[in-house]
Structure 1
């Protein structure tokens, strides 16, 4: 294919100088040959030439080469368009491979920050937070959780404060938080919610949902869960988890926005309620809980008994089981709890029948 065109009125801008030069145009061997004043010739592949759509002059049009972002060719001979097969086609984005590589690198950088750097920094910072600051963090988070879980939108989720039930809960807490290593300022609260769960917050707060008490068959099962959560408080696991969540919220907020208000509260609430700690943290909390139960003359096997019944009745998708499950399998947790009990020891219930009835009615 070979064709010549009227060069009159055809002007070429190289993009480096603010002046144009008149050129001659010829098509041969699938190239638009542009003859310049100095005798040299430019070769533009016809498949790579595009028409710019922003021209105001209806009697002429401008062309560009997709591989040259600056050069322009202004043409008046419209028959040339018939030789340009891709004249009106959108040019492929330049540097797609580089763009994809940067996108992958950005995602990897965010993942590294959220999964590695933020947890590492949180673990280092947790030990420097003073007790008063940790307590304030726990109080603020507790109120956020109460507001987030309220289904009416009118008031925070109610705390269960039946006096007799509160006394029974205090009796149980005192039995588990006694002797050497007893925590100062340990605060255990029951929230009036059907969720079968319990969790710890920074600053010595442990929250038990009414659904857990309703599901328990004995006070020892509630005590076993409480002892485990006290173990997390002692190890300051909730503080580390809260710092990790806050760091993740900050990073995600920079990317997606809306993490300074309600979304942040809901995200942090969900993370703390369903907190899953590392295998070591869970194992340490279990071991701590067994020791506290033994010291209170309560069988550690109660934790395994509750786990097994919840698994049989609700499957492993139960909230409490999901909360407790980390790397150790549920079967191993059940067996470990039973193995921690002394088969030769005569254990006693942590509450008598009357106090247990009071605890079950704490939300009435």
Structure 2
């Protein structure tokens, strides 16, 4: 069996037109050509096929050879063009597509991979949190406020606003009631931030703090709250986040961890999901710790304002009825501690049988709950 081929000797750029034939004992390929000083013999057991050739009618061969590389291969390449020989090689050489690696390569790869993962883990769990905390403290207040306003604008667009401020609720009586509630909570306290509390017309039952003293209450929270004390308790919790600069730290930490994880996982199919899942897992413990500290801050603020921390437990109970609680291993992925735990802690923080004046009177409470009625 003889066929045409081209040989690249691996020592020069020369392309040799050659003939390939089986040896007399049929145990090797004998390669001959006018430009070769002598026939080249490649034993059949040493033949390996390269899989990156564009023409399926040909086959590119090299040979297994002891080299200092991790993949022990002869640098020479033989491009076999004869269809019968190509078919014969595929049919009779089961080891043709074997991937050869030097002994110990797997262990070396595992050690290097482990080292790389350890470096990434150190970046994410140690360096990025420390860097985010440092940067949050160094960020000028005016820059942080501008950043927070941008975050609020993005959230408005996410919630369906066609333009900035399109979902803002600002009925005069409701606005006045909200300002009185905030003033009662913050009276005599130096927060370090000029608070900006607003209400957005959306059915979601939630509130959030953005960098720079921005606090947003969604209409759904006002609809579900059973009393003004509950809304005051939620505001106290979000003010705790503001005072601790949690939104700024979290934004910096998330940007860093997602960017780093994106470099590690790349942009392959499903890569984005893995990045977001890993980011959620990484930041869950940070968020849970921040939530617990914001709860404690809220307890102290509510007691100072003559309001019961148990009002926060009422809101958590409403959340639990609406959305359920996170149990078992999945609790680690939640950005908030378990609601049952928070309910117990809020109730325990409330002074026993201490009379209090509601956060708002009946008329003000009604005005706040209807703050979105006259919108636009």
Per-residue CA deviations over 1:146-168 (Å, capped at 9, x if unaligned) read 122216x4665411000000000
| Residues 204, 221 of structure 2: 8 Å contact kept | yes
Secondary structure at the residue paired with 1:121? helix
Which sections of structure 1, spanning at least 5 residues, go unmatched? 258-262
| Bigger mean CA deviation after superposition, 172-181 or 353-362 | 172-181
Contact 1:138 1:203 in 2 (8 A): yes
What's 1:343 paired with? 352
Residues 1:310 and 2:319 are matched in the alignment: yes
Structure 2 equivalent of residue 141 of structure 1 = 151
Instruction: Output one character per residue of 1:196-249: Cα deviation in whole Å (capped at 9) or x when no partner.
Output: 000111111111000001000100000001000100100000010111233345
Residue equivalent to 1:213: 222
Q: Residues 214 and 360 of structure 1 are in contact (CA less than 8 Å); yes or no, is this contact kept in structure 2? A: yes
Take 2:108 and 2:130, find their aligned partners in 1: how far apart are those partners? 30
Match for residue 61 of structure 2? 64
Q: Distance in 1 between matches of 2:122 and 2:98?
A: 32
Q: TM-score, normalised by structure 1?
A: 0.74
User: Residues 26 and 187 from structure 1, CA distance in 2 versus in 1: closer, same or farther, beyond 3 angstroms?
Assistant: same
Show the counterpart of 2:89: 84
For residues 41 and 122 of structure 2, what CA distance do their matches in structure 1 show? 49
Corresponding residue for 1:160?
169
Distance 1:355 1:284, change over 3 A: same
Deviation at 1:43, TM superposition (A): 3.0
TM superposition shift of 1:31 = 3.2
Deviations 1:122-152 (A, max 9, x none): 122111001111111111111121122216x
Over residues 273-320 of structure 1, what are the superposed CA-to-partner deviations in whole Å (9 max), with x where a residue is unaligned? x99853432222111101111111111101112212332344238xxx
Match of 1:43 in 2: 42
Distance 2:342 2:59 in 1: 74
Change in Cα spacing, 1:100 to 1:197, as seen in structure 2 (3 Å) is farther
Counterparts in 2 of 1:187 and 1:277: CA distance versus 1, 3 Å: farther
Give the 3-state SS of the residue equivalent to 2:23 in structure 1.
strand
| Partner SS state of residue 84, structure 1 | helix
Cα 1:234–1:358 shift into 2, 3 Å: same
Q: 1:183 & 1:75 partners in 2: Cα distance? A: 77
Distance 1:10 1:326 in 2: 63
Unaligned runs of 5+ in 2: 65-72
Q: Alignment partner of 1:231: what SS?
A: helix
Distance 1:204 1:298 in 2: 22
1:260 is matched with which residue? none
C-alpha change, 1:148 and 1:253, in structure 2 (3 Å) is farther
Q: Give the Å deviation of 1:180.
A: 3.4
Residue 26 (str. 1) matches residue 23 (str. 2): yes
Shift of 1:81: 4.9
8 Å Cα contact 1:199/1:229 also seen in 2:
yes
- Trace 1:266-345 onto structure 2 (pairs within 5 A): 277-316=286-325, 326=335, 328-345=337-354
Shift of the 167–88 alpha-carbon distance from structure 1 to 2, 3 Å rule, reads farther
Aligned mates of 1:342, 1:207 — CA distance in 2: 29
**How far off its partner does 1:71 sit?**
2.1
**Relative to 1, partners in 2 of residues 1:193 and 1:19: Cα closer, same or farther, differing over 3 Å?**
closer
